[in-house]
Amino acid sequence: MCSNDFKILKQGAEAKLYLGNYLGKPTVIKERFKKKYRHPDLDESITKERIKNEARSIVRAKVAGVKTPSLYLVDFERRRIYMQYFEHSVTVKDFIINIKKKYTDDSAAKLNKVARIIGENVRKLHIHNIIHSDLTTSNMLLVKDDEKDINQELVIIDFGLSYIDTRAEDKGVDLYVLERALISTHNDCPDLFSKILEGYKAYSNTNIKEILHKFEDVRARGRKRTMVG
């Protein structure tokens, strides 16, 4: 169980999130579930490896220049990661939904700017061979330093499925996952992914052609599966 000072924030298929204070800082605890269908020793080994991968990817993303939550503590025994909570933030998902509700002349420019920043940051991950595996607008935050600050930074969160790999195909799949997430959640913004790709392409051209070729292959296979059911 988590400390009484922490309140449950969210529960998913793999973990619970708790919100509270640790060492005087707003903190999220991610606590992974025990899988009772697995042998306890195997479950402990798999969970430990996944926690390691998540923590490693967060640190590596920071080195890549991508803003992620700061790590405060990794507790393997209790299956927990303690990390920074961003108080003045909104998910990119909610940002897009809200901006579409209150559409103004500069809304398209704001959306395009955020899309380009997303593309640049995903490219930074891929240059450093970080495969996020769950790129959705729910796993991206726009963060302000305080309530009055209008300058927002993009923060990528939830590296629970991430891993390190150099293959272009894995990076292409990462892009495809993001495209499918956008189609599912923001189908009223049909140009959003193309703007993200503009940012992705603009950041660096190293190995970009091979990654985009693999992305198109994955996309074609996905469409074929959809057509045949």
Give tens-digit pLDDT for 158-205.
999 999 999 999 999 999 999 999 999 999 999 999 999 999 999 877
Summarised one tens digit per residue, pLDDT across range 95-123 is 999 998 887 878 899 999 999 999 999 99
Q: Is the separation of the CB atoms in 140 and 162 below 8 Å? A: no
Write the CA distances from 7 to 11, 29, 79, 85, 157, integer angstroms.
Answer: 12, 10, 17, 13, 20
Summarised one tens digit per residue, pLDDT across range 129-142 is 999 999 999 999 99
Instruction: Tell me the C-alpha distance between 226 and 229, whole Å.
Output: 5
- Per DSSP, which regions of 33-112 are E strands? 71-75, 80-84, 89-91
Nearest CA among 154, 144, 89 for reference residue 124: 154
The mean pLDDT value of the chain amounts to 91
Q: How would residue 92 be classed by pLDDT, with cut points 50, 70 and 90? A: very high
Handedness of CA 13, 127, 207, 205 (dihedral sign): positive
Helix (H) or strand (E) holding 17: strand 15-22
145 catalytic? Reply is no
Q: Is the separation of the CB atoms in 61 and 159 below 8 Å? A: yes
- For the residues 19-35, what does the mean pLDDT come to? 95
Q: How many CA atoms lie within 13 A of 55 on its CB side?
A: 19
Summarised one tens digit per residue, pLDDT across range 62-74 is 999 999 999 999 9
**pLDDT the model gives residue 185:** 96
Domains of the chain in start order, with CATH, are 7-84 (3.30.200.20), 89-228 (1.10.510.10)
Q: What angle do CA 121, 125, 32 make, to 5 degrees?
A: 105
Q: What angle do CA 166, 50, 177 make, to 5 degrees?
A: 55
Catalytic residue among 43, 134, 165, 217: 134
Q: How would residue 224 be classed by pLDDT, with cut points 50, 70 and 90? A: low
**pLDDT the model gives residue 12:** 84
- For the residues 8-28, what does the mean pLDDT come to? 93
pLDDT surpassing 90 at residue 148: no
Q: Is the separation of the CB atoms in 135 and 66 below 8 Å? A: no
Instruction: Tell me the C-alpha distance between 16 and 84, whole Å.
Output: 16
55-83: burial string, b at 16+ Cβ within 10 Å, e else: eebbebbeebebbbbeeeeeeeeebbbbb
pLDDT surpassing 90 at residue 128: yes
Higher pLDDT pick, 51 / 152: 51
pLDDT surpassing 70 at residue 146: no
Instruction: Tell me the C-alpha distance between 13 and 11, whole Å.
Output: 7
- For the residues 142-160, what does the mean pLDDT come to? 80
- For the residues 45-65, what does the mean pLDDT come to? 96
Instruction: Tell me the C-alpha distance between 112 and 209, whole Å.
Output: 23
Q: Is the separation of the CB atoms in 154 and 118 below 8 Å? A: yes
